[in-house]
Amino acid sequence: MPRHPQAAKSARREFLESLLWAVAVALLIRTFVIAPFKIPSGSMRPTLMEGDRILVSKFIYRFHEPQRGDIIVFRYPEDPKRPFIKRLAGLGGEALEIRDGRLVINGTPLAGHSVLTATAYLNRGGFGEEGRQIEIPPGQLYVLGDNTSFSHDSRFWGFVPRRLLIGRALCIFWPLNRIRLLR
């Protein structure tokens, strides 16, 4: 039985409407909920490797404040068009020092944060000199790469304004052999 021309137009229209809705929903999700990012450098080794693809929650910090140890994605303060990824080490209002390779917060050596306490941070840059206590201004964050020898981070360029925060890294989704949740 031949198809009615009106039914074919209706099916095409329904398909296009469905496609437009799907694109709109996908764009909304990517803009406000979750987004993929590709790791471009080795500054977060061994946690994140070059070429890893991660998912970042863009809404999580609307419900609670960033926590020390979070792996965060933010717009680089010196070039806000570039996204950066680092580990959150210091919060606004704190005094931070790198002493003998360890983080000291408000005069007390950091304890209880596995990666932050297991990593021996090198004293480098104007914001990471040995014996210098850094006062983190309110509304600012101090971030460090897990690969302290090869990370261009807050030790060199200072603080990340809270307003430049994009979100928290949730998981590695590619390559398949590295799929896992990030803590």
Model confidence over 139-160: pLDDT tens digits?
Answer: 999 999 999 989 999 999 999 9
Same domain, 102 and 128: yes
Same domain, 67 and 12: no
Radius of gyration of the chain (CA): 22
- Specify the pLDDT at position 5: 67
Same domain, 74 and 140: yes
Q: How many domains does the chain have?
A: 2
Same domain, 27 and 40: no
- Specify the pLDDT at position 3: 60
- Specify the pLDDT at position 30: 62
Domain CATH for 159: 2.10.109.10
d(CA 62, CA 172): 22
Same domain, 48 and 128: yes
Among residues 129, 150, 122, the alpha carbon closest in space to that of 50 is found at: 150
- Specify the pLDDT at position 173: 96
Which domain does 16 fall in, by range? Answer: 1-32
Same domain, 28 and 38: no
Active site residues: 43, 86
Q: Is the dihedral of CA 137, 148, 124, 104 positive or negative?
A: positive
- Specify the pLDDT at position 158: 94
Same domain, 102 and 14: no
Among residues 123, 138, 134, the alpha carbon closest in space to that of 91 is found at: 138
Same domain, 55 and 101: yes
pTM score of the predicted model: 0.85
Same domain, 37 and 26: no
- Specify the pLDDT at position 12: 82
Length of the chain: 183
Same domain, 91 and 117: yes
- Specify the pLDDT at position 32: 65
- Specify the pLDDT at position 28: 66
Same domain, 126 and 146: yes
- Specify the pLDDT at position 2: 54
Same domain, 57 and 142: yes
Q: For residue 8, give the H/E element and its range.
A: helix 5-32
Mean pLDDT by 10 residues, the chain (183 residues): 66 81 71 84 94 95 93 96 96 95 93 84 88 94 94 95 96 95 89
How does pLDDT run across 157-166, given as a tens digit for each residue? 999 999 999 9
